[in-house]
């Protein structure tokens, strides 16, 4: 697990602008998505204003058989 928990604005930047192709959205769509994100996550904030967020990474290593 990679912990991305932070203030909602930082989680937005990390997850929604860095990890996902938000550049495919126009300004109106991006503003609507950001507003939806803010509304949907408001109830998840901790007492100190942190939004818990994490990503599970599964890493596999393979080797070609000779």
pTM of the model: 0.72
Contacts of 28 (CB under 8 A, 6+ apart): none
Dist CA 60 CA 33 (whole Å):
33
Q: pLDDT by residue for the chain (66 residues), tens digit each?
A: 889 899 999 999 887 777 777 888 899 999 999 999 999 999 999 999 999 998 888 999 999 888
């Amino acid at each position: 697990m990679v912990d991305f928990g932070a203030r909602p604005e930082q989680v937005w930047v990390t997850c929604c602008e860095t990890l996902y192709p938000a550049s495919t959205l126009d300004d109106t769509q991006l503003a609507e998505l950001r507003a939806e994100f803010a509304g949907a996550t408001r109830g998840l904030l901790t007492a100190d204003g942190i939004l818990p967020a994490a990503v599970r990474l599964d890493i596999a290593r393979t080797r070609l058989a000779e």
